[in-house]
Amino acid sequence: MSALPTLLPSPSSLPSRQSSLRLGTLNCRGLAKISKPDTQQHFIRFLRNHNFSILALQETHANSDTVISSF
């Protein structure tokens, strides 16, 4: 039996580089329905400052138009 060819280099032969992935998950509890623009702006500023790679938002109760205009 012949060995299968190696398709990927071994991890030890790859150059080392450090990468990071910033994950965030938040329960917004209907933030889009809050009538206080300052609260919404503070929340959006918080999200932008944390520079998440992936962000999951639960319970936004937001429609597409609200999300697009806010971000």
Report d(CA 1, CA 56) in Å as an integer.
49
- Best CA proximity match to 52, nearest among 18, 21, 28, 19: 21
Predicted local distance difference test score (pLDDT) of residue 9:
65
- Asked if residue 6 has pLDDT above 60, the reply is no
Average pLDDT value for residue range 54-64? 81
Render pLDDT for 35-58 as a digit per residue (tens, 0 to 9).
677 887 888 888 889 999 999 988
- Asked if residue 67 has pLDDT above 90, the reply is no
- Asked if residue 23 has pLDDT above 80, the reply is yes
Predicted local distance difference test score (pLDDT) of residue 27:
85
- Best CA proximity match to 55, nearest among 23, 20, 19: 23
